[in-house]
Amino acid sequence: MFNVILFGPPGSGKGTQSEKLIDRYGLVHLSTGNLLREQISNQTRLGLEAKKFMDSGQLVPDSVVIGMIRSAIKENPDAEGFLFDGFPRTVAQSQALDELLAENHSEINAVLALEVSEDELISRLLNRGKTSGRSDDTNEQVIRARITEYENKTAAVAEYYDQFGKVVKIKGEGDVEAIFDALCNEIEAKKIV
């Protein structure tokens, strides 16, 4: 198995690059944001509970997202690998993920961290809000709250994986194809080892 975490703040391009990466490498895409929005549109209890946090730009509790990822991994026993997008977002989620993968005799092979300046993130998200239908993208206060959550809780995920030498930083500004090429180069470098 080859498992990748696509890491970065909200608006750093994880969703866009994930679509391209799963096409090229045949990985199963696990986006907790997408899984949560699916729960909301199906009006499940989990969705209703998560919506309160998402609407205010707060992280959903660890137990909720870890449970979702556990099920998603179980539902894909034949996966050649997973691309985790928007997960893990806390150190507790990272540890839980490592344990889940270890149960499957697997591990995270690479953490690809997209780096984008804060001004650019805010302008991208406000722009996306015009067409995405996502209410958390239309309100600048909610966008700023998401970035604060990222700084306070999620940035530590990169430090956690850095102790195992798994993190590669990639400049997330500029041409989408050039960023994609940079990501592919890193994946291929790690796959050979």
Taking the complex as a whole, the smallest distance from the CB of residue 153 to ligand ADP amounts, in Å, to 9
Contacts of 25 (CB under 8 A, 6+ apart): 2, 81, 83, 187
- Per-residue x/- track, 72-91, ligand ADP (CB under 6 A): --------------xx-x--
Q: Please tell me whether residue 172 binds ligand ADP under the rule CB under 6 A.
A: no
Positions in 11-30 near ligand ADP (CB under 6 A): 11
Whether 134 is catalytic = yes
Q: Please tell me whether residue 10 binds ligand ADP under the rule CB under 6 A.
A: yes
Residue 178 tokens read as 């050039």
Q: Single out the residue of 51, 124, 146, 166 in contact with ligand ADP (rule: CB under 6 A).
A: 146
Whether 128 is catalytic = yes
Distance between CA 11 and CA 1 in Å, rounded? 28
Distance between CA 18 and CA 76 in Å, rounded? 18
Positions in 32-71 near ligand ADP (CB under 6 A): 32-33, 36, 53-54, 57-60, 65
Taking the complex as a whole, the smallest distance from the CB of residue 164 to ligand ADP amounts, in Å, to 20
The residue with its CB nearest to ligand ADP is 33
Residue 134 or residue 188: which is nearer to ligand ADP going by CB? 134
* CA 181 to mean position of chain CA atoms: 19
Residue 100 tokens read as 């889940």
Tokens 């540890």 -> residue:
95
Give the Å distances, CA to CA, from 148 to 9, 10, 145.
Answer: 10, 10, 5
Phi and psi at residue 59, to the nearest 5°? -70, 145
Q: Are 80 and 27 in contact (CB under 8 A)?
A: yes
- Per-residue x/- track, 91-110, ligand ADP (CB under 6 A): --x-----------------
Whether 70 is catalytic = no
Catalytic residue positions?
A: 14, 89, 128, 134, 146
